[in-house]
Amino acid sequence: MERNKGKGKWIFARHSHQRVLSFYKYIRDQEIPVQIAEEDSGENFDVLEMVNGDVKNPIFIPVTVDVDVLVLQQQWCQNYCKEHNYALFELSKLADLGG
């Protein structure tokens, strides 16, 4: 997570299904109206949370077998570097580190 002046908030986090279930139970106990899959559905999946500088529009993606987390993480990193004017280098092997 990072917050920079003028750059908004950037988050790439993977939340375990236990954490998501705990959050759901907390929301349910607060009697806040929310639509979410029932906890006894039998499906346990982690959830990706991505924020690209716009806190008002977070993205939540259930991590299922067809979701490529690595590709999403790489895209998020590329967007982060572009937004912050950072150069992004990808190392293909340890020798690229110069040691």
Predicted pLDDT of residue 72: 94
Residue of 89, 52, 86, 95 lying closest to 72 (CA atoms): 52
Predicted pLDDT of residue 73: 92
User: pTM for the complete prediction?
Assistant: 0.63
Cα–Cα distance for residue pair 12/10, rounded to 1 Å: 7
Predicted pLDDT of residue 69: 93
Predicted pLDDT of residue 25: 74
Please give the single-letter amino acid code of residue 7: K
Predicted pLDDT of residue 98: 61
How many distinct structural domains can be found in the chain? 1
- The 8-class DSSP code of residue 66 comes to T
Enclosing domain of residue 60: 2-97
Distance of CA 12 to the CA centre of its chain: 4
Predicted pLDDT of residue 20: 78
Q: What is the mean pLDDT of each run of 10 residues along the chain (99 residues)?
A: 58 85 72 52 76 82 90 92 87 62
